[in-house]
Structure 1
């Protein structure tokens, strides 16, 4: 049944992205290059709506065949609809940053409530339950992952390829550790994004837009929290798989904060953006990230899943060279 659901999601996502491209062209929803852009050709935007719609349609289907719990379905449907509506409205006009952020916290809070909050963390000193402080930390974490995914969606194919890798990597780890009951959501997300990536692979024929990138960030962040309730080590595994995006976005934000920049203003000073200009190729950078993910982050994430007490050590090991890359490509620096 899961195979048929995924096939339907893939085909629907591909077809819907094509229709959204026609809609964007007809409504002049075009990303026109400016001094803060990483692309040089006017390109339709908003194609990420296909990811949102196909994933959310699959949620009740997964629940109906016993591949998802009722509480998790409510979490993803409610939070996903809210954050995608905010992104869709922002793609079509403009919503003040403070109202977007408020909506993000509401959506994250909804997901957190239905998923049960933050599971006890696996550490070298045993399981640590952070209680209410953990819930607050998890709320900030979800909002940050939502926004960092938006920040990192700046060159062709990168955000899509990252989502497919992270979710496929999680499926692999769930499979080898015997937690196949958790595979449903990330596998469906893989196929929903794959249908869109056919249109978004460099050179992109359509961009994801805020509706898609924010949705991906929130759902991926929530999937990590859900997995941690089955095995506390899975939270470390998800964070390791997300390493490229977490390090680049966080390093860039901190650098700009320390310099006194207005962090809510658009810019192109992430490491991946400097790299795309250095290599004069979106495809080179996107494929380079895929290689880092598969050859470096995936093995460490799998190791952390089997060694929960050392998950923090695995996280530090995984992030160390990524920090060096962020420094090498001057993440956060002014051009």
Structure 2
């Protein structure tokens, strides 16, 4: 496996994030704290563009090296690029939620159009030939990009999650003997690592909607591509993404049942309640890394190796995360965290 370019991706993202920080300061692109913020200091935003540019820039090389099919590159470039563009514009001003959602579905359809003929999506799960399953696949991708945006609320958490998932995904490929395929998640993880240097608590710049939405839909596409190596790898990827999937989904359901306006900003995710209890972001971000590496990764490996069935692996992985969400009062108003 030729991985000589991976350090260059990390360095490129690091230096580009620094330039974006100067750009944000010069243009007054600041995330100013309000009643629904989890930070207290005005901070530049939009640094996630470095992740977008570095990863999209390396896609042609990954195709040349045989790590990625051209169809997969077009799927991620088109879908991720559109989501990042909409996020970038929203970071600079405001785009109505209905237009953002329309663009998100357009990006999902673009990805599925390129992925379906390549046969990279697992049979029996979102992405098989039927119209219903294609709709489910689109909903999955749209939810992935939105939940990643929802979960990008404290310093470093979205970056750490992406690095853990990408590193775990690469390990799963290696265990399957697909060494070249591992270069794709490693490239994405490298771009995020370069950004994380600036985003680690206390953050000097935030990812912004361009970066978080891009990561969400790209990780969703990568989970479909993993099924080309082995169908069970799709489920292993959803296990790796468990912290974000469970917290965001449980919180959304709880808020829907409460009659809240789900597209309004809030501070009721489990990780937000946890950061307020801890009094700072770092312990929660490190806890997410620990859960990923010590709990979810072994279970994902177990499913990939056939030790656990996919549904058993998902149940064992998600059940404690649901318990955490319940105990942390996810989806409940902020004052409920002390109840």
What is the CA–CA distance in structure 2 between the aligned matches of 1:129 and 1:146, rounded to whole Å?
21
1:75 correspondence with 2:75: yes
Deviations 1:254-303 (A, max 9, x none): 00001110001000100000000000110000001111111110000000
What is aligned with 1:84? 84
Calculate the TM-score normalised by the size of structure 2. 0.95
CA distance in 2, matches of 1:308, 1:228: 17
Which sits farther off after the overlay, 147-156 or 74-83? 74-83
Change (3 A) 1:334 1:26: same
Relative distance call for 1:2 and 1:87 in structure 2 (3 A) is: farther
Q: Within 2, Cα distance between the matches of 1:61 and 1:20?
A: 24
- Matched residues in 2 for 1:80 and 1:16: separation? 18
Tell me the distance in 2 between the aligned counterparts of 1:322 and 1:196.
27
What are structure 2's unaligned runs of at least 5 residues?
335-339
Partner in structure 1 of residue 326 of structure 2: 327
Query: Match of 1:45?
Result: 45
Give the number of equivalent residue pairs. 330
Distance 1:325 1:121 in 2: 30
Q: Let me know the Cα RMSD of the aligned residues.
A: 1.5
1:183 alignment partner, SS class: helix
In structure 2, the partner of 1:108 is: 108
Q: CA deviation at 1:129?
A: 5.4
Shift of the alpha carbon at 1:180?
1.9
Deviations 1:9-30 (A, max 9, x none): 1111000000000000000000
Deviation at 1:132, TM superposition (A): 2.4
Matched, 1:120 2:120: no
Does residue 274 in structure 1 map to residue 277 in structure 2? no
Contact 1:86–1:103 (8 Å) recurs in 2 = yes
Other-structure match for 1:125: none
1: CA distance, partners of 2:78 / 2:244: 25
Matched, 1:26 2:26: yes
Match of 1:205 in 2: 204
Instruction: State the partner residue of 2:99.
Output: 99
Find the aligned partners of 1:183 and 1:174 in 2 and give their Cα distance: 6
Aligned to 1:4, the other structure's residue is in SS state: coil
Deviation at 1:185, TM superposition (A): 1.3
**Residue 165 in structure 1 maps to residue 164 in structure 2:** yes
1:307 to 1:131, Cα distance in 2 relative to 1, 3 A: farther
8 A contact 1:46–1:211 mirrored in 2: yes
Q: Secondary structure at the match of 2:238?
A: helix
Query: Could you tell me how far 1:207 is from its partner in structure 2?
Result: 0.2
State how far apart, in whole Å, the 1-side matches of 2:172 and 2:316 are.
18
- Preserved CA contact (<8 Å) 2:66 2:180: no
TM superposition shift of 1:229: 2.3
Q: Secondary structure at the match of 1:3?
A: coil
1:202 partner SS: coil
The match for 1:313 is: 312
Q: Are the counterparts in 1 of residues 3 and 183 from structure 2 also a CA contact under 8 Å?
A: no
Tell whether the 8 Å contact from 2:302 to 2:308 is kept in structure 1 after alignment. no
What is the aligned partner in structure 1 of residue 337 from structure 2? none
Q: Is the 8 A contact 1:38 1:268 kept in 2?
A: yes
User: 1:41-62 CA distances to partner (integer Å, 9 max, x unpaired)?
Assistant: 1100000000000000000111
Partner of 1:259: 258
Asked if residue 293 in structure 1 is aligned to residue 296 in structure 2, the reply is no
> Could you give the per-residue CA deviations for residues 63-113 of structure 1, whole angstroms, max 9, x where no partner exists?
122221111111111111111100000000000000000000010111111
**Structure 1's 129 and 222: CA in aligned 2 closer, same or farther, altered over 3 A?**
closer
Deviates more, 1:2-11 or 1:168-177: 2-11
Superposition pairs of residues 128-207 of structure 1, within 5 angstroms: 131-207=130-206
**Could you tell me how far apart the structure 1 residues matched to 2:50 and 2:208 are?**
11
